[in-house]
Chains A and B, each alone.
Chain A
Amino acid sequence: MDASMPHRLELIGITKRFPGVLANDNVSFSVKPGEIHALLGENGAGKSTLVKMIYGIMQPDAGEIVWDGQRTVVANPKAARALGIGMVFQHFSLFEALTVLENIALGMDAKIPARELEARIRAVMTQYGLLLDPHRTVATLSVGERQRIEIVRALLLDPKLLIMDEPTSVLTPQEVEQLFDVLRKLAAGGCSILYISHKLHEIKALCDTATILRGGKLVDTCDPKAETSRSMAEKMIGAGLKDIVRAPGRTMGLPKLVVSRLSTKKSGHFDVPVDSVSFVVKAGEIFGIAGVAGNGQNALLDALSGEILGEDKDAITIDGFPLGLLDTTGRRRHGLCAVPEERNGHAAVGDFTLSDNSILTARNRLGMVVLGLINSGAAKTYTGKVITDFAVKALGPSSTAGSLSGGNLQKYIMGREILQRPTVLVVSQPTWGVDAGAAAAIHQALVDLAAEGSAIVVISQDLDELLALCDTLAVINAGQLSDAQKVGEISVEEIGLLMGGVHGTSEARDAIPA
């Protein structure tokens, strides 16, 4: 890299304001040709807003974007692509019902005959080792394969800058390695990469430079290889890290939740059912379920919560009492509460007040219904308690759930379930998209609930979270659950293999796709 060369991209004083939030406040940094540059920050730090402005999806309120030494206005994504900027989104912009080829054609600005496009796609795939059948429908592809479409789509434009938004959150550790190989090849060819993440070990392994954002402001630009994970984390969060406090000398009790051969039917096209899942959670135990997204986690949560009704009453028992045939209301009465992954629209109703949202799940356990009529006073009091105990930032019980930030809504939802003192609590992605402070609070609340003797199941894609939080761990893949193992006795590599579909048996190991 020649120091006299102009920067590929330079941002000068970029500012973007949303109602009530300053998403980016005077942010300036630059990216050199062939550099892998990390953009690091917590959820809500302003990373996504910043790259959306680089890619032309949004316009800055103030500041300048300089591209190859020229002041530029990136009017829209098309203009960005014309400049040589490619982007791979965290949430893929794919069309499930269309084929790979059609999806890629949609991302191309120039009209290219289908045959020629296919030839070029195959060439790029071979060059970077990204294998895909162009004629398959996207709906039939795994998450990792879908990401490859996005990458191929971006690479076909021969980009000079590739923006990757949280690309590894959906990948197994092995797939992450493959992705890094592709990115290193690209960088070696002179393409700059802007790599957005909050995973510090990945940034240390991959990136040349890291720019850290916090609350919309640039905190530091540093060399990640010269920093420790902890020092970067503290810059990112802005305070010393809080560790989970566990009561000393904790012991686990008798088996509380026993799940045996729980299966669901395939309901939709894109749905992965669970297949004969069995596990036991003892009183006081936190049981983690790891796995790549889309391997049956949603069906498992719905089958445990009662949203999907079972056919075998003994498939789920609490203290020996069979719950398998009960609906969510019946299961809650018997002490099983659940929190699904999707906050707005599933765990809570965005248009309803928090008080009304409390009625959704707490009405029977906490006596909010008398003779078919709702005691709204009781709901309000309980909601007030949740807000206070879980430090939810809301005006009060009559704020709508939709007006809360993601982290605050999650704290409210977790509080709403935990304060019902469930015997068994099943949660999915408890800290997805939540800032570190809120995540720590939620983790602590889960540990405290377990300490009181509840059995807790945590389904998460964040392996770091599970390793920090859980006593026991199992991995879900293609709807099947691996044997449970004690955290501390299992290595990340083993978990990674299980997530990729390799089970303990030799038969399964032979079946690994290359």
Chain B
Amino acid sequence: MEMLIPIIVTLVGAATPILIAALGELVAEKSGVLNLGVEGMMLVGAIAGFVAQFYTGNPYLALLCGAFAGAAVSLIFAFLTLSLSANQTATGLALTIFGTGLSALAGAPYSAKPIALMQPLFPDMLARDPFWRVFFGYSFPVYFSFIMVAAIWWFLKRTRSGLILRAVGENDHSAHSIGYSVTGVRYAAVVFGGAMAGIAGACFPLLLTPQWAESMTAGRGWIAVALVVFASWRPLRLLAGAYLFGLVMTMELYAKAGGGVLAVIPSELWAALPYLATIVVLVLISIRRDASTNAPACLGKPFMPTN
């Protein structure tokens, strides 16, 4: 049991950014928009969060900066796909390329400069306790991610705005003809997704490795996109999926540290495992029959109102 606690703590840390990014993408996709730029938005959030932490040392401000930066670049995507009805797949890819370049440019002066990690939310008495830290030893983003799972579930299932968002993703033309602003709802959903991706990105320097490295999110944004499919667009399943990936990545870390049986497998295979696991997970979910039937019917389709 004692041995498990550090493993769980590592696992939670690895799962949190993926979960936050995937929650944002889930909301965007529920409104009918497929934003493949998550990786790019995360990187922009990561560098914004890093720079804010570097100069202010205030991690909450850093998360906020990450959110703003992610939201800002998501507006480029929103403008191109929603106002100019550009192809969503291509625009998402462009956003990822752009975010990678922008973050590398902005981060160039900061390489090898350390920052402080974000401290746990609860007092040391709980947070440093050998046992209780498994519940209380985390910083704010971890608890935030749990709250957001519940909040997004409640929003989509129980609120009128959530119903409208789902309706827009389900049948844009009907929603338009009833009188809802399809474009407006989707703008909001995309910007929310961007802000969440930005927070998720900021988690990398604030929670995991306290410095800036180019492309430090290492494909986690893409895994978040895959998780949304895996979760069949359900927030609770997203939680399960993110922790499954957290486990895979934790195993990789322990293998690198030379942990017994895990070291039998080459370290490169461990490094490739999250990506291979993503494919396996997508395969497993596609074998289940109902997987794709829960997909928003208008996902990825451009909408141009006629008037």
Q: Mark B80-92, 1 if CB is under 8 A from A, else 0.
A: 0000000000000
- Indicate if B178 sits at the interface (CB-CB under 8 A): yes
- Indicate if B170 sits at the interface (CB-CB under 8 A): yes
A405 to B177, CA, bound (A): 23
Q: Mark B279-307, 1 if CB is under 8 A from A, else 0.
A: 00000000000000110010000000001
- Indicate if A29 sits at the interface (CB-CB under 8 A): no
Q: Mark A97-114, 1 if CB is under 8 A from B, else 0.
A: 110001001110101000
| A97 and B170 form a contact (CB under 8 A) | yes
Q: Which of A81-138 contact B (CB under 8 A)?
A: 81, 89, 92-98, 102, 105-107, 109, 111
- Indicate if B117 sits at the interface (CB-CB under 8 A): no
| A93 and B297 form a contact (CB under 8 A) | no
Partner of A106, one of B178, B293, B297: B178
- CB-defined contacts of A467 to chain B, threshold 8 Å: none
| A59 and B307 form a contact (CB under 8 A) | yes
Nearest CB in chain B to that of A81: its residue: B179
- CB-defined contacts of A98 to chain B, threshold 8 Å: 163, 166-167, 170
- CB-defined contacts of B170 to chain A, threshold 8 Å: 95-98
Chain A interface mostly: loop
Chain B interface mostly: helix
Q: Once A and B bind, how many residue pairs between them come within 8 Å at the CB atom?
A: 52
- CB-defined contacts of B307 to chain A, threshold 8 Å: 57-59
A93 in contact with B163 given A57-B307, A59-B307, A269-B293 (CB within 8 Å): no
Partner of B179, one of A59, A77, A95: A77
Nearest CB in chain B to that of A109: its residue: B179
| A95 and B177 form a contact (CB under 8 A) | no
A435 to B18, CA, bound (A): 56
Nearest CB in chain B to that of A106: its residue: B167
Q: How far is the CB of A87 from chain B (nearest CB, A)?
A: 9
- Indicate if B160 sits at the interface (CB-CB under 8 A): yes
| B164 and A95 form a contact (CB under 8 A) | no
Q: How far is the CB of B304 from chain A (nearest CB, A)?
A: 14
A92 in contact with B174 given A97-B297, A98-B166, A98-B167 (CB within 8 Å): yes
| B174 and A95 form a contact (CB under 8 A) | yes
| B171 and A105 form a contact (CB under 8 A) | no
A93 in contact with B171 given A58-B307, A78-B179 (CB within 8 Å): yes
Nearest CB in chain B to that of A102: its residue: B163
20 A-B pairs, CB-CB below 8 angstroms? A59-B307, A77-B177, A77-B178, A92-B174, A93-B173, A93-B175, A93-B178, A94-B171, A94-B174, A95-B170, A95-B175, A96-B170, A97-B170, A97-B294, A98-B170, A102-B163, A106-B163, A106-B178, A107-B178, A109-B179
Residues of B participating in the A interface, judged by any CB pair closer than 8 Å: 160, 163-164, 166-167, 170-171, 173-175, 177-180, 293-294, 297, 307
Residues of A participating in the B interface, judged by any CB pair closer than 8 Å: 56-59, 76-78, 81, 89, 92-98, 102, 105-107, 109, 111, 269
Please list the 4 inter-chain residue pairs (A to B) with the smallest Cβ-Cβ separation, ordered nearest first. A93-B174, A77-B179, A95-B170, A78-B179
